[in-house]
């Protein structure tokens, strides 16, 4: 048991009277240092102030996948923890493991705060300010990390938008050439003497072509092109191979060519060239339409995700937020990730801040994707449970250990390597859900089935269903 003489020998306590040392002894207790034993863990609530009386400890932090020793408490008077005496969110900044046998004085942070306020109130205010500054610096560093991740996300979105935009540009260039070819084909038909009735019957045949709903097998397509090429060659058409490709894509076969020949007579080639050019123009227009639709869809999704044109607090459609988040996270979801959507049919709107909730969905989905290491099934579920809406994000990854599940919502705790993740920890996600929306968030995990479940009250002020 620690005695007054033990504390008197510690330089840290120089200047304290015997009655003050006795108050420390009364308010605290002795904890033995045993080699190899862990006394506290990084990221846990710093509910105690620890002072070395004798012996030594190693302090380590988790960096990437390694525990790195960042300091040693090996002299009487070295101390750690107690931060909750100044900040209710204070956590241990490193883990402590015993090295040399000895003793520690352990004082509850609440008691340390009381003593500091009585003994040296000015110094207590200085310490509180110092800790606040350190916390601000840490928050700024986390924000910077989040900005780097945001830049990566933005680069992925730029790539997503660039693909359909580039396709639209290419199709527009080809469309210009196809239109020139179409006009040229019309001139050839006019100069070759195609009559109005012949043109009308040919146009009717063209309209009767029905392209396949789904792309045909490459070998099947090649066989059909070869068949049409042979027929066109036999009919004396000069650009047989070029025309065969366009006509096959439009759904033409040998029977159709025979009807077109009967309609056109000796003007078959300019007639088929015109049909092929109209097919090319229609195909290119469809490509431009699809590409621009995709760009518009991406922009709408980003707009919905950012909530840049909406009030911060409103009635929120969680399905819409999840869909926009999945769209924004698109570059992270392939290949190898199968997304399963299970939207409940009776899910109402909830009172909330959609921009903040989208940050939560981003974090949960990003964690799930990381857990699956690029291959697996991501399941996103919404349903109504009593007076709450439940959103569940599940993955088929390796799962969380009981220790990780226990600490998942602690501040600054992470299992990811440096530079990975969104910069938004589950502790912040929990604050958004619990403090800002009055809901709850919980984790359920086993190998192959991990689920993060968020409950949001339908109306502000109502308790979430359990």
In angstroms, the CA 83 to CA 116 distance is 13
Q: Average pLDDT in the 101-108 region?
A: 94
Q: Is the Cβ–Cβ distance between 48 and 106 less than 8 Å?
A: yes
- 352 to 55, 276, 315, 359: CA distances (angstroms): 53, 56, 6, 13
Q: Is the Cβ–Cβ distance between 379 and 393 less than 8 Å?
A: yes
In angstroms, the CA 389 to CA 457 distance is 6
DSSP string, 181-236: HHHHHHHHHHHHT--HHHHHHHHHHHHT----SSPPPHHHHHHHHHHHHHHHHHTT
> What pLDDT does 414 receive?
60
Q: What percent of the chain has pLDDT over 90?
A: 21
Q: Give the model confidence (pLDDT) of 281-331 as tens digits.
A: 888 888 888 888 877 777 766 666 655 445 457 888 999 889 988 887 877
1.20.1250.20, 2.70.210.12, 3.90.15.10, 2.60.120.10: CATH of 4-119: 2.60.120.10
Tell me the pLDDT band of 171, cut-offs 50, 70 and 90.
confident
* Domain residue ranges in the chain: 4-119, 157-298, 313-457
Q: Average pLDDT in the 270-276 region?
A: 87
Rounded to the nearest 10 degrees, the angle between the axes of helix 268-306 and helix 240-250 is 50
Across 47-51, 257-261, 415-419, least confident range = 415-419
> What pLDDT does 302 receive?
66
Q: Assign 452 to helix, strand or coil.
A: strand
- Statement: residue 420 has pLDDT above 50: no
- Other residues' Cβ atoms within 10 Å of the Cβ of residue 458: 19
Q: Count CA atoms closer than 13 A to 426's CA, side-chain side.
A: 24
Tell me the pLDDT band of 36, cut-offs 50, 70 and 90.
very high
9 phi, psi to nearest 5 deg: -85, -5
> What pLDDT does 136 receive?
55
> What pLDDT does 424 receive?
45
Kindly state the helix (H) or strand (E) to which residue 105 belongs, with its residue range: strand 95-108
Nearest to 363 by CA among 426, 416, 419: 426
- 441 to 216, 409, 454: CA distances (angstroms): 48, 9, 4
In angstroms, the CA 316 to CA 302 distance is 16
> What pLDDT does 212 receive?
63
In angstroms, the CA 146 to CA 136 distance is 15
- Other residues' Cβ atoms within 10 Å of the Cβ of residue 128: 15
Q: Give the model confidence (pLDDT) of 117-167 as tens digits.
A: 787 665 555 555 555 555 555 555 555 555 455 555 566 666 667 777 888
- Other residues' Cβ atoms within 10 Å of the Cβ of residue 447: 11
Q: Assign 48 to helix, strand or coil.
A: strand
Q: Give the model confidence (pLDDT) of 54-83 as tens digits.
A: 999 999 887 656 677 878 898 999 988 887
- Statement: residue 393 has pLDDT above 60: yes
Looking up tokens 């000796």 gives 266
> What pLDDT does 131 receive?
55
> What pLDDT does 463 receive?
44
Looking up tokens 């493991």 gives 97
Tell me the pLDDT band of 37, cut-offs 50, 70 and 90.
very high
Check residues 365 and 241 and name the one with the higher pLDDT. 365
Would you give the end-to-end CA distance of the chain in angstroms? 47
In angstroms, the CA 160 to CA 166 distance is 10
Q: Average pLDDT in the 250-256 region?
A: 86
Strand pairing category for 38-40 and 95-108: antiparallel
Check residues 111 and 136 and name the one with the higher pLDDT. 111
Tell me the pLDDT band of 419, cut-offs 50, 70 and 90.
very low
Which residues are CB-neighbours of 2 under 8 A, at least 6 positions away? 25, 30, 53, 103, 105
Average model confidence (pLDDT) for the chain?
A: 81
> What pLDDT does 465 receive?
39
Q: Average pLDDT in the 43-47 region?
A: 88
Check residues 121 and 354 and name the one with the higher pLDDT. 354
- Statement: residue 423 has pLDDT above 50: no
> What pLDDT does 93 receive?
84
Q: What percent of the chain has pLDDT over 70?
A: 82
Check residues 13 and 68 and name the one with the higher pLDDT. 13
Q: Average pLDDT in the 107-113 region?
A: 88
- Statement: residue 174 has pLDDT above 60: yes
What is the architecture, at CATH level 2, of domain 313-457?
Answer: 2-Layer Sandwich (3.30)
Peptide bond just before 335 cis, omega within 30 deg: yes
Across 12-26, 151-165, 424-438, 442-456, least confident range = 151-165
Q: Give the model confidence (pLDDT) of 194-227 as tens digits.
A: 888 888 988 898 888 877 655 567 788 888 888 8
Q: Average pLDDT in the 174-187 region?
A: 87
Tell me the pLDDT band of 45, cut-offs 50, 70 and 90.
confident
- Other residues' Cβ atoms within 10 Å of the Cβ of residue 374: 12
In angstroms, the CA 87 to CA 129 distance is 10
Q: What is the pTM of this model?
A: 0.45
């Amino acid at each position: 048991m620690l005695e007054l003489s033990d504390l008197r020998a510690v330089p840290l306590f120089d200047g304290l009277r015997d009655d003050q040392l006795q108050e420390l002894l009364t308010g605290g207790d002795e904890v033995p240092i045993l080699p190899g034993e862990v006394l506290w863990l990084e990221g846990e609530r710093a509910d105690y102030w620890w002072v070395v009386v004798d012996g030594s400890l190693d302090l380590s932090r988790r960096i990437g996948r390694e525990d790195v020793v960042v300091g040693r408490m090996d002299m009487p008077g070295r101390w750690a923890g107690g931060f909750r005496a100044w900040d209710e969110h204070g956590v241990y900044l490193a883990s402590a493991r015993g090295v040399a046998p000895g003793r520690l004085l352990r004082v509850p942070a609440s008691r340390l705060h009381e003593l500091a306020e009585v003994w040296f109130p000015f110094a207590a205010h200085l310490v509180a300010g110092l800790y606040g500054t350190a916390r601000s610096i840490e928050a700024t560093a986390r924000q910077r990390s989040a900005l780097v991740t945001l830049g990566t996300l933005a680069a992925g979105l730029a790539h997503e938008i660039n693909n359909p935009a580039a396709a639209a540009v290419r199709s527009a260039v080809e469309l210009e050439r196809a239109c020139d070819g179409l006009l040229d084909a019309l001139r050839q038909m006019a100069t070759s003497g195609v009559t109005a009735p012949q043109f009308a019957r040919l146009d009717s045949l063209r309209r009767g072509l029905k392209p396949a709903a789904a792309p045909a097998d490459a070998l099947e397509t090649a066989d059909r092109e070869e068949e049409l090429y042979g027929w066109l060659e036999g009919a004396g058409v000069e650009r047989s191979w070029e025309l065969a490709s366009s006509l096959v894509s439009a759904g033409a076969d040998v029977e159709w060519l025979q009807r077109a020949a009967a309609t056109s007579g000796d003007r078959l080639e300019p007639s088929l060239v015109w049909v092929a050019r109209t097919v090319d123009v229609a195909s290119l227009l469809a490509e431009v339409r699809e590409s621009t639709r995709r760009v518009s869809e991406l922009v709408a999704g980003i707009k919905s995700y950012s909530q840049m044109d909406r009030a911060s607090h409103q009635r929120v459609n969680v399905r819409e937020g999840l869909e926009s988040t999945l769209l924004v996270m698109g570059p992270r979801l392939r290949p190898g990730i199968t997304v399963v959507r299970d939207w409940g049919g009776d899910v109402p709107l909830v009172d909330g801040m959609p921009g903040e909730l989208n940050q939560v969905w981003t974090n949960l989905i990003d964690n799930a994707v990381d857990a699956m290491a690029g291959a697996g099934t991501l399941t996103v579920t919404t349903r109504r449970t009593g007076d709450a809406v439940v959103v569940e994000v599940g993955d088929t990854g390796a799962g969380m250990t009981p220790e990780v599940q226990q600490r998942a919502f602690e501040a600054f705790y992470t299992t990811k390597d440096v530079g990975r993740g969104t910069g938004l920890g589950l502790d912040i996600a929990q604050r958004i859900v619990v403090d800002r929306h009055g809901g709850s968030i919980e984790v359920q995990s086993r190998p192959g089935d991990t689920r993060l479940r968020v409950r949001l009250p339908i109306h502000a002020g109502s308790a979430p269903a359990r």
